[in-house]
Structure 1
Amino acid sequence: MTDRTGAPLDARALLRGTSDTAKDINRRKIIRSVMISPRTQVGIAKDTRLSPATVSTAVAELQQEGVFRVETGEGERGKRVHLGDVRGVAVGIEVDHSRVTIGVRRLDAVALEYETADFGPDQPVALRFREAARLAKDLVARIGMSNDLIVSVGVGIPAAVDPRTARLTQVSSSLGWDVGGDLRLFLYDEFPDTPVIVDNEANLAAYGEYVYGAGRNHETMLYVKASTGIGAGLVVRGLIFRGRHGIAGEIGHLTMEAEGRVCRCGNRGCLETVAGGARILEQVRQAYSGYRLDLPTTLDRVVERAKSGDPVCRRVLEDAARTIGLALATVCTLWDPETVVVGGELGGAADLLLDVLRESMRRHTVPGVFRVENEPTTVVASELGAGAGARGALAFGLEVEASARKK
């Protein structure tokens, strides 16, 4: 495995060894774990579910071969394991209702390069994926790498994905995407011989926060993306909970008003119809209609105005937070997570809304969830912000690269 000439090792070759012995499979798991994030040996053992002795032996061998470098210093933190002189790059893509966000990282580095592109609601899925691929390739070149060094491509989309087949099981009719379709096909020609892993955007944003952000060091974490749509992802001991059909976490379609407005999913009174981005914009514009000409056109703009003291924007966002808190109270009663992380555009207004959200959750959930002596569930803002989806897609792509590789 070691390149005796002193040239950098190829990350793809390290992950795609032909040997299927238990030892080599474990080595690849350990390499993949460190590619996702530098960790201590304790952290690697926890992430891979391998014994500390197995991890210790493998790390020592891989350090000797130049695959790993291990920090010196006192204590476990001082012995963090990093990737050595290994060439490779990972790509994370988030395709949202209105934009695509791309994150690219050299595997031997920590920092990501980001790029975004905005889309109108009528632009076809093929165009969105072509643009995502173009931006990804531009970023790969920007960091001095080539496309043949891409190890994996993770993709988050605003739809439910069957975890067994990677096909769509639930998607908004407003997007016009094929239920039962396989969106990986749009990227296979762009990234030949590279695994493409697709999952729901909220799931992957949750995974990003769990690995790199506010969910670190938590056993169970619920991530809520409150934007144009409202979705959630649940991570339990490093595993995304998807349910049988990949629909777990679709809290935006919890019924809040049985006879309420018709939702884009076809049901009535869903959370999104009461507290989603379109409803928030509608309420603000309605309140100011006939009194102001500079009406906000995006949820980001509503948040900006609320932060600047606009009483209408602030009131509408607070009402939305109360309603989302009511929905989350039900979710927390069912799932009882250790922490709830709030992201999306409303996560950007955390300083205004988190207290309102917490109070609504406390009022409507069972008392034990927030009882102090029980080490109560915490409710915190996203640390990764708009980058959560792309970072989570990148990490998750590395995590499942082996099983998703095309035959």
Structure 2
Amino acid sequence: MTSSSTTYDARKLLWTPSDSLRDANRRKIIRAVMVESATQVNIAKLTALSPATVSGLVNELVAEKILRVDSAGDGERGKKLRVGNVRGVAVGIEVNHNGLAVAARRVDTSAIEFETADFGADQGGNVWVREASQLIRELAGQTGLDADHIVSFGLGIPAAIDPRTGLVSQVAASLDWDLAGDPKQRFSDQFPSVPIIVDNEANLAAYGEYIYGAGRGKETMFLVKASTGIGAGLIVGGLIFRGRHGLAGEIGHLTMDPLGIVCRCGNRGCLETLVGGARLIEQVRQAYAGYRMDLPTSLEAMIERAKAGDHVCRRVLQDASRNIGVALAKVANVVNPDVMVLGGDLGRASDLLIDTAMHEMKLFSLRGMYDHPVPTKLVGSELGQFAGARGALAFALKADSTVAP
């Protein structure tokens, strides 16, 4: 009989090597509950294990105090399971063109510690690694544990990751950063024994919304991350769809005008040349040139002005929403998702953008998506600037490849 005072090390629970199928299934269940408290029915769906297997193993894990059962819920299988006497910290990082966001959470609680750091894109080569490492240690300490208790580490970067090798296949063209090879190696000195899972930052933002936000419970979800650049992530049946080379979801380089402005990718008329952050700010500054000195220098400042009633900023955002809507209509005709989510910096202005973008979507995509009793919807992000960090945290925590580093 396990003592009620026994405290388990999450790393030993998840990293101890074993060829036993039973042990592998136990780890799947523990990981699923660490990501989010869930009923036995939902755990069976998340892990693809049979209800009977889940029930038997859950009983063991509860008896060992590794999991605990909430008092609320109808019947044993309708009650949510939470992590019991287990110590460990899960970490997620989203790296963007000019900053990063970090999330850290004890695996036995739902309370998350967040922090951000800003830096210039031209400084990103080494700065982001140093800043991220420092924030990870600070946030781990804020959870009541420390960096030695980190059990998983999710890293989202502005690059395409080959899903078969985990290596970078293409870096965002606007970044003069050395991201080639295996990004995990950048943290090997700081966190030598911690397994690190790497993916594109927009993919992980989509995963965050799927697990915790606007895409929760949906079969198919598409998130467009509209900030300095335009990226996207597609979730199908709980899995990130990456394509053969990790380049799926690059909606920012969808051609809108073959004779348009040259894009940073080398093509013309990409969506990003119309609605990328720098382009929107440039339009506002051109409109006010010679008339005002206090011009916005960031997308965030421009959005705040629009919300305060600035007619130029509102018009630029309205035009951007039309172009986003047309692009999403093309995606909708191919994917036919349950929900599409507007995230990134422009997600902060979703109340100003959604209606116009939705109008364009309906105009340029098949009516059957919207006439249906359960229509495709476009909604704003629920997780905001921490969607990527939360998605990275959840994705790495759930990944079975973090066994035995």
Is the shorter-chain TM-score for this pair beyond 0.5, marking a shared fold? yes
Contact 1:161–1:198 at 8 Å: present in 2 too? yes
Q: Partner residue of 1:110?
A: 110
Q: Partner residue of 1:135?
A: 135
In 1: Cα distance, 2:17 partner to 2:200 partner: 31
Report the Cα offset of residue 125 of structure 1: 2.3
Q: Partner residue of 1:355?
A: 355
> In the TM superposition, what whole-angstrom CA distance separates every residue of 1:127-150 from its partner, at most 9, and x where no partner exists?
211110111101111221121210
Which is worse superposed, 381-390 or 11-20?
A: 11-20
Report the Cα offset of residue 3 of structure 1: 6.3
Q: Partner residue of 1:378?
A: 377
Q: Partner residue of 2:67?
A: 68
Which is worse superposed, 12-21 or 246-255?
A: 12-21
Q: Partner residue of 1:317?
A: 317
SS of residue in 2 equivalent to 1:240: strand
Report the Cα offset of residue 5 of structure 1: 8.1
Q: Partner residue of 2:153?
A: 153
Q: Where does the alignment leave 5 or more consecutive residues of structure 1 unmatched?
A: none
Contact 2:15–2:404 at 8 Å: present in 1 too? no
SS of residue in 2 equivalent to 1:115: strand
Q: TM-score, normalised by structure 1?
A: 0.96
Question: How many residues are aligned here?
Answer: 404
Q: TM-score, normalised by structure 2?
A: 0.97
Report the Cα offset of residue 69 of structure 1: 0.4
SS of residue in 1 equivalent to 2:93: strand
Q: Partner residue of 1:23?
A: 22
**Superposition map of 1:149-298 within 5 A:** 149-178=149-178, 180-298=180-298
In 2: Cα distance, 1:172 partner to 1:218 partner: 29
SS of residue in 1 equivalent to 2:121: coil
Q: Where does the alignment leave 5 or more consecutive residues of structure 2 unmatched?
A: none
In 1: Cα distance, 2:2 partner to 2:103 partner: 29
Contact 1:45–1:52 at 8 Å: present in 2 too? yes
Contact 1:71–1:78 at 8 Å: present in 2 too? no
In 2: Cα distance, 1:121 partner to 1:405 partner: 34
In 2: Cα distance, 1:215 partner to 1:297 partner: 32
In 2: Cα distance, 1:78 partner to 1:30 partner: 16
In 1: Cα distance, 2:340 partner to 2:39 partner: 26
Report the Cα offset of residue 372 of structure 1: 3.3
Whether 1:339 and 2:339 are equivalent positions in the alignment is yes
Q: 1:403 aligns with which of 378, 401, 404?
A: 401
| Percent of aligned pairs with the same amino acid | 58
Contact 2:41–2:78 at 8 Å: present in 1 too? no
In 1: Cα distance, 2:231 partner to 2:51 partner: 37
Report the Cα offset of residue 269 of structure 1: 1.1
Report the Cα offset of residue 181 of structure 1: 2.0
In 2: Cα distance, 1:68 partner to 1:394 partner: 20
Report the Cα offset of residue 172 of structure 1: 2.2
> In the TM superposition, what whole-angstrom CA distance separates every residue of 1:186-222 from its partner, at most 9, and x where no partner exists?
1111111111111011100000000011111111111
In 2: Cα distance, 1:147 partner to 1:27 partner: 25
Whether 1:32 and 2:38 are equivalent positions in the alignment is no
RMSD: 1.5
